[in-house]
Amino acid sequence: MASIYLPPWRIDPIRRSGVETPVPIQSLARLCARALTAAGAPSPASLGLILSDDRELAELNRAHMGHEGPTDVLSFPLLPPAAFPAHDDQDPDVRRNLATEFALPPGGRPHLGDIVVSVERAVAQAPDQGWSAADELSQLVVHGVLHICGWDHARPAERDAMRDFERVLLTAP
């Protein structure tokens, strides 16, 4: 699938074989760009968006998180949280994670990371959320992008701030 350029962002979507999405990929890319901009991600940059299924997410969840079974979204950031602006209720210890930056070739575009979303899980859990599969998939994509940008929900205050920010991004025109 071709990259989608939404300056200053390049979104690199991949839709796994057999995965049908209730939201056009171009719309999901616009959501990614909106979230990256709002979260203050360094730009220009690229982001991978992988639309997959429960089987792949279960494998990734086991390999990278040590949890059994599928999950709805996993984020694989390549920059430390300190590379992004601090946000309300963020754990201050996260800001101390100052990884060494590496030099890019002149004109190089850093890759912020990848998010992998189970479209199958989004469709299955949408009724429990009281909204459509399209709304659930959109929410998961925004959630994944915010994780790339240093947001987390381990602490209740940051969880609430993250949910509020997601709602703002999902309802923006």
pTM of the predicted structure, to 2 decimals: 0.91
What would the pLDDT profile of 66-90 be if each residue is shown by its tens digit? Answer: 999 999 999 999 888 878 888 877 8
Helices (H) and strands (E) in the chain, counts: 6, 5
Which pair of structure tokens corresponds to residue 66? Answer: 């040590």
Just give the CATH number of 4-89+109-171: 3.40.390.30
What would the pLDDT profile of 124-139 be if each residue is shown by its tens digit? Answer: 999 999 999 999 999 9
Please state, in angstroms and rounded to a whole number, the distance separating the CA atoms of residues 50 and 116: 5
Please state, in angstroms and rounded to a whole number, the distance separating the CA atoms of residues 144 and 151: 9
Please state, in angstroms and rounded to a whole number, the distance separating the CA atoms of residues 29 and 33: 6
pLDDT of residue 94: 66
Sequence ranges of the domains in the chain = 4-89+109-171
Please state, in angstroms and rounded to a whole number, the distance separating the CA atoms of residues 117 and 137: 8
pLDDT of residue 102: 54
Please state, in angstroms and rounded to a whole number, the distance separating the CA atoms of residues 50 and 117: 6
Nearest to 89 by CA among 150, 23, 27, 2: 150
pLDDT of residue 83: 81
pLDDT of residue 105: 62
Please state, in angstroms and rounded to a whole number, the distance separating the CA atoms of residues 159 and 7: 29
pLDDT of residue 106: 67
Q: What percent of the chain has pLDDT over 90?
A: 76
The one-letter code for the residue type at 53 is D
Per-residue pLDDT of the chain (173 residues; tens, 9 = 90+): 799 999 999 999 999 999 999 999 999 999 999 999 999 999 999 999 999 999 999 999 999 999 999 999 999 998 888 788 888 778 777 656 555 455 556 677 899 999 999 999 999 999 999 999 999 999 999 999 999 999 998 889 989 999 999 999 999 87
pLDDT of residue 92: 73
Nearest to 110 by CA among 81, 78, 75: 78
- Other C-beta atoms closer than 10 Å to the C-beta of 115 total 25
